[in-house]
Amino acid sequence: MLFDKFQTMADFQAELAERQVTPFGAVTEEILSATEGIVEGHRVILAGTNNYLGLSYDPRCIKAAQEAAARWGTGTTGSRLANGSFAEHQALETEIAGFYGVDNAIVFSTGYAATMGMCSTLAGPGDVILLDADSHASIYAGVRLSGAEIIRFKHSDPDDLAKRMRRLGDRAGQALIIAEGIYSMLGDVAPLKEIAAVKREYGGYLLLDEAHSMGALGSSGRGAAQDAGIEADVDFTVGTFSKSLGSIGGFCISPHAELEAIRFCITAYIFTASSSPSIIASTREALRIIGEEPERRTRLWDNADRLYQGLKALGAKVGPTASPVVAVEMEDRSQTIDCWKALLESGVYVNLVIPPASPSTNFLLRNSVSAAHSTEQIDRIVAAYASLKDAGLLPTSRES
């Protein structure tokens, strides 16, 4: 039957319902601040929101959104190629291009559309795409639509990328290489200096997804490429407004003037209604704040290091380095669900991630840190995990 392939998920949902647990699509009834809310009836610290700089609740961004809605209305009711190009959209494109020091930018309605749209359009039949094996679902969705030959290289392994580029021979010079800045599940940062060196040796074009690194890394917040000093090697940068910028939407910037022609070939751009004016206005304000308040990045990384070191001291199985994404890996699904529920009941909301969303067969309790978190809140998150350990629910790295 048509629905047979969904039975495994239906069984899993039934199990969650029987256990009265709602880790997927948990309802937030009220937002109290950038770091606190009411989720499923529990007052919680929000530690699973990707609100890295705390700007989703910034009064300046809220005011900009309110004023834009009053002036421009609630929506555009059309795509950018129809009636959906407002002056605000063009202004944001100019500003985000300027933020990155290039001349060309496209604003998309979602980050998923930006990444999927660019990956499905840049390469086509007869072309080759080399992508990191742990790439985001939006990247995989895009490359499958492209019709290009797809080659996966081992996660964050420049040597494996180089080996596969060598095998391409002359075709390597026209290949599209895809990597991410910070990987969204485990929070690890790509070895971009080494990846850029491979590109310089063999040729090709580099598309970098800075969704989780834009605003969090780099001397001016431009992301992992700026932090690694390889911006000149990046041909296309895609990202999202729904993380550090605290709104919704996506973008692509490029030093190549051809991006303007590419704009009119991206189906995810052509056939999607443009973002509402309020979203664009709040994003513009957030972009300005990122440029003017670098201390937010300092607080973000102070909090990230504090949470990482606190969980590591408990023996939790965390990644190799501190990051705004701090994930705890677990091997047992039922135990992971129990931990998620216990955390919620103790006042901490995190993300529960199951395969295939996680980059391995393990399950994740995924924590995302914000510059808006106080030191006390970070310590309360660590204390909640300590309670899991005391209750025998949290396995430690020494046990796994």
Q: For the residues 167-182, what does the mean pLDDT come to?
A: 97
Q: For the residues 200-207, what does the mean pLDDT come to?
A: 98
* Token pair in block for residue 351: 């993300």
- Listed in order, the ranges of the chain carrying CATH 3.40.640.10 are 73-292
The H-assigned helical ranges of the chain are 7-18, 59-72, 87-100, 111-121, 137-146, 158-168, 192-202, 224-228, 259-263, 267-270, 277-292, 295-314, 333-345, 375-390
For residue 104, the surrounding DSSP H or E stretch is: strand 104-108
Say what percent of the chain tops pLDDT 70: 98
- Listed in order, the ranges of the chain carrying CATH 3.90.1150.10 are 4-57+294-390
Q: Are 341 and 16 in contact (CB under 8 A)?
A: no
In the chain, the amino acid numbered 248 is I
> Which residue, among 208, 210, 357, 221, has the nearest Cα to 289 in the 3D structure?
221
* Band of pLDDT at residue 357, cut at 50, 70 and 90: low
- C-alpha–C-alpha distance, residues 258 and 241, integer Å: 23
- 346: number of Cβ within 10 Å: 17
Per-residue model confidence as pLDDT tens digits over 324-348: 999 999 999 899 999 999 999 999 9
Mean pLDDT of the chain: 95
- C-alpha–C-alpha distance, residues 339 and 341, integer Å: 5
Per-residue model confidence as pLDDT tens digits over 244-281: 999 999 999 999 999 999 999 999 999 999 999 999 99
Q: Are 214 and 253 in contact (CB under 8 A)?
A: no
> In this predicted structure, what is the pLDDT of residue 400?
42
* Band of pLDDT at residue 399, cut at 50, 70 and 90: very low
Per-residue model confidence as pLDDT tens digits over 67-121: 999 999 999 999 999 999 999 999 999 999 999 999 999 999 999 999 999 999 9
Does residue 398 surpass a pLDDT of 60? no
SS3 state at 347: coil
CATH architecture of 73-292: 3-Layer(aba) Sandwich (3.40)
> Domain 4-57+294-390 has what CATH class?
alpha beta
**What does the DSSP assignment read for 16-59?**
HHHTT---SS--EEEE-SSSEEEETTEEEEE-SS--TTSGGG-H
